[in-house]
Amino acid sequence: MLRNIAIEAISDRSTVWDCLVIGGGATGLGTAVESASRGLRTLLVERTDFAKGTSSRATKMAHGGVRYLAQGNISLVREALRERGLMLKNAPNLAHPLKLVIPAFHLWEIPYYTIGLGVYDLMSGKLSLGHSTPLSKTATVGHLPTVEQNGLKGGILYFDGQFDDARLATTLALTFSDLGGTIANYVDAVGLTKKNDKICGAILRDREAGSEHEISAKVVVNATGVFVDAVRKLDEPGSVKMLAVSQGAHLVLPKKFLPGTSALMVPKTSDGRVLFGIPWHDRVIVGTTDAEVPEPIDEPRIRENEIEFILTEAAQYLANDPTESDVLSVYAGLRPLVKPAQSGSTAAISRDHTIVISTSGLVTITGGKWTTYRHMGEDCVNRVTQIGGFQPTPSRTAQLPLHATSAAREISEPPEHMAVYGTDRKKIETLAASEPGLGDRIHERLPYIVAEVVWAAREEMARTVEDILSRRTRSILLDASAALEAAPRVAAILAKELHRDDAWQKKQLAEFAAVGRIYQLRPS
Ligand SMILES: Cc1cc2nc3c(=O)[nH]c(=O)nc-3n(C[C@H](O)[C@H](O)[C@H](O)COP(=O)(O)OP(=O)(O)OC[C@H]3O[C@@H](n4cnc5c(N)ncnc54)[C@H](O)[C@@H]3O)c2cc1C
């Protein structure tokens, strides 16, 4: 996947793309894979890096959403459970089943949640990951050795899926490229072009070269997450906002807070939400929160009240209370929620996806969840096919294994970071063995090796230190301070791969230092 080949294709004015997808998060990538797999000549442009927005900041659950079941949103849960099953089938190296345990501190909770989760199991049908069961106090502690035992009556075990969000985004970008799609990061859609009041293309700005290119496209899809309203304004300057933006934050803790492979699920926190404590890449992710924010930004920051809320709630359910000094990293993401006619709290807004088509033909797709990215892409390309007057073709992505997928991981197998590469892993290991130093770790507290940095630059379109340390590897989430310490080494490797000079390295380090501070709880 080479960026300069994509830029060359973008600058060829004679090309008429069937479909231009703006936005390289879960929604845009899912739409692009769907479009290319149906034979449409497709271009995807991403203003920053793939999944730099919301799609690298999820709780990393491939789930139907137990919470939505409680809200009675049966169709959303059924759709998401199907998609959960498909994600695990088509990307088994990136998504795997996860055991979750709800600790019960009142006896009535055990039958109550066992019945509810039984319905959840039934709804997943053939794609069920296992049966939920009530647990004795001893069995609950067996799954969650660090759970608060004072007043514990027992628990409920159920199954969902877990995945690596930014790595899935990279894999979708590679899958799209394998299907013949053209894709580039650091390309901003800055304008839309029209002929007879109908959209016929876009103005794209290559942010690395600073050059602008006018391209022709039969259909343009706006999949820009929390920024869809800004792109809609390029089409109709007077358009009314369709989104409410809500922030959710997480803390990352050392594995000792939740050793073992089972996750902790709290169905009702003090603000009525769900809280997860999830083992992930040898750490524990705890979250999340939900509060409306006025305007979307690229790099949202966790707020003081979110830190306090998560630590206080976690302390209620864990025997050893986590403190600020235990926190390895913090991150916040913004949910694109489609406003209902009467908007109340953002926690109550539906997580269904929405497709809106403007009078000039701009297709905007937003809402939904990471778990449902494939179905969103399928729905969107059905509309693209109608608008573009293309030959209708059946979707085949439900049966499409993603790039370099390898055999499914067993639920009991501990997470192992190289598994995310699927069959590409062997190539990275061969690269690591090809030269002294390539097998070395980038930092003693991080699992990643130098060969992964080289691979990301050569094969995965990584362009910046942040791309490597935030999304191709998940260093910044696993240990923000270690990621900052590893940055000079990564900058030097990347500069060599991309033929950049010392000034570029310096600028990269300054930019990464600014981002890195946002992921440290108390930056020094
Ligand atoms: C805290 C939190 C936890 C979550 N947890 C889960 C979970 O566990 N499971 C789950 O299924 N879902 C989860 N979600 C939901 C899920 O993450 C989102 O639904 C999904 O990532 C949205 O993807 P998107 O592609 O629509 O948006 P984004 O990922 O934000 O992608 C939009 C992209 O468009 C780009 N862009 C914007 N303007 C332009 C332009 N003019 N030109 C080019 N590119 C542009 C942006 O840079 C961005 O990369 C969670 C969400 C949040 C906030």
Tens digit of each residue's pLDDT, the chain (524 residues): 689 999 999 999 999 999 999 999 999 999 999 999 999 999 999 999 999 999 999 999 999 888 787 778 888 899 999 999 999 999 999 999 999 999 999 999 999 999 999 999 999 998 999 999 999 999 999 999 999 999 999 999 999 999 999 999 999 999 999 999 999 999 999 999 999 999 999 999 999 999 999 999 999 999 999 999 999 999 999 999 999 999 999 999 999 999 999 999 999 998 888 999 999 999 999 999 999 999 999 999 999 999 999 999 999 999 999 999 999 999 999 999 998 754 445 555 556 899 999 999 999 999 999 999 999 999 999 999 999 999 999 999 999 999 999 765 555 454 478 999 999 999 999 999 999 999 999 999 999 999 999 999 999 999 999 999 999 999 999 999 999 999 999 999 999 999 999 999 999 999 999 999 999 999 87
Measured CA to CA, the distance from residue 523 to residue 480 in angstroms comes to 10
Q: 332 alpha carbon to ligand 1 midpoint, in Å?
A: 12
223 lines ligand 1 (CB under 6 A): yes
Cβ-based burial of 433 (10 A; exposed 0-12, middle 13-18, buried ≥19): exposed
Q: For residues 516 and 482, give the distance between their C-alpha atoms in angstroms, rounded to a whole number.
A: 10
Asked if 406 contacts 422 with a C-beta cutoff of 8 angstroms, the reply is yes
Amino acid at 440: D
How far apart are alpha carbons 114 and 177 in whole angstroms? 44
390 C-alpha vs ligand 1 centroid, how far in Å? 28
pLDDT number for residue 351? 60
Q: How far apart are CA 194 and CA 171, in angstroms?
A: 33
pTM above 0.95, yes or no: yes
Q: 333 in helix, strand or coil?
A: strand
Four-point Cα dihedral 253, 255, 260, 261, nearest 10? 60
The verdict on the CB of residue 61 being under 6 Å from ligand 1 is yes
Smallest CA-to-CA distance from 187 within 157, 210, 171, 219 is with 210
| CA proximity to 512, closest of 344, 313, 299 | 299
What is the pLDDT, as a whole number, of residue 74? Answer: 87
For the stretch 473-512, what's the b/e string if a residue is b when 16 or more beta carbons lie within 10 angstroms of its beta carbon?
bbbbbbbbbbbbbbbebbbbbbbeeeebeeeebeebbeeb
Predicted pLDDT of residue 343: 44
60 lines ligand 1 (CB under 6 A): yes
Handedness of CA 150, 153, 157, 158 (dihedral sign): negative
Which ligand 1 atom minimizes the distance to the CA of 226?
30
Q: Distance from the CA of 374 to the center of ligand 1, in angstroms?
A: 14
For the Cβ of 55 lying below 6 angstroms from any atom of ligand 1, the answer is yes
Q: Are 205 and 188 in contact (CB under 8 A)?
A: yes
**Contact indicator for 233, 296 with CB cutoff of 8 Å:** no
Task: Return the ligand 1 atom nearest residue 188 CA.
Answer: 42
245 closest CA partner among 47, 54, 21, 68: 54
**104-115 as b/e: b if 16+ CB within 10 A:** beeeebbeebbe
Centroid of ligand 1 to alpha carbon of 53 (angstroms): 5
Output the CA angle 318-105-281, nearest 5 degrees: 35
CA-to-CA distance for 345 and 390, rounded, in angstroms? 41
Q: Is 296 in the pocket of ligand 1 (CB under 6 A)?
A: no
Would you say 59 and 250 are in contact if contact means Cβ atoms under 8 Å apart?
yes
- CA angle (86 as vertex; 85, 88 as ends), nearest 5: 65
- CB of residue 361 inside a 6 A radius of ligand 1: no
Instruction: Please work out whether the CB of residue 53 comes within 6 Å of at least one atom of ligand 1.
Output: yes
Identify the pLDDT of residue 350. 55
Q: What interhelical angle do 74-90 and 373-388 show, nearest 10? A: 100
Note the pLDDT of residue 516.
97
300 pocket-lining for ligand 1 (C-beta < 6 Å): no
Close Cβ partners of 233 (under 8 Å, ≥ 6 residues apart): 239
Write phi, then psi, for 191 (nearest 5 degrees): -160, 160
The reply to whether ligand 1 has any atom less than 6 angstroms from the CB of 367 is no
Q: C-alpha 469: how far from its chain's center?
A: 15
DSSP for residue 499: T
